[in-house]
């Protein structure tokens, strides 16, 4: 299953706040999944592993693909970068990866 979240569209709180928000959301998702996996393990359910890739930049947003696909989507280099970072999480054994731009925008306050 693939989930894509877009932060800051159409009007955001500023690039720095949106980068911080994206990282905080990813960290909260990771913490919740650890908790859920413990519960599931006790019930004999296979753990779920996820990877999160975050990239900050310009995207083309809108109704892409016609009415049948519906909803808002995004495309562009930033989207591709986030997808590639997510893909690298498995080979690098990291649950969250983000680009340098996101790190710069988020500033200090994160254990990176």
- Domain locations in the chain? 15-102
The pLDDT tens digits of the residues spanning 30-87 come to: 999 999 999 999 999 999 999 999 999 999 988 877 777 667 789 999 999 999 999 9
At 80, give phi and psi (nearest 5°): -65, -40
Query: DSSP states of 55-110 as a string?
Result: --S--EEE--S-TTT-S-EEESHHHHHHHHHHHHHHHHT-SEEE-HHHHHHH-SSS
Q: Is the dihedral of CA 9, 4, 77, 106 positive or negative?
A: positive
Q: Is the pLDDT of residue 97 over 90?
A: yes
The pLDDT tens digits of the residues spanning 5-21 come to: 888 877 788 999 999 99
pTM: 0.87
């Amino acid at each position: 299953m693939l989930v894509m979240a877009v932060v800051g569209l159409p009007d955001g709180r500023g690039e720095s706040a949106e980068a911080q928000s994206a990282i905080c959301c990813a960290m909260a998702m990771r913490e919740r999944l650890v908790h859920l996996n413990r519960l599931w393990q006790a019930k004999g359910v296979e753990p779920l592993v996820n990877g999160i890739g975050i990239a900050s930049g310009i995207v083309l947003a809108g109704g892409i693909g016609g009415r049948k696909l519906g909803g808002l989507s995004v495309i562009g280099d930033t989207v591709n970068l986030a997808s590639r970072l997510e893909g690298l999480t498995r080979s690098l054994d990291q649950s969250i990866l983000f680009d340098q731009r996101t790190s710069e925008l988020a500033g200090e306050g994160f254990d990176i």
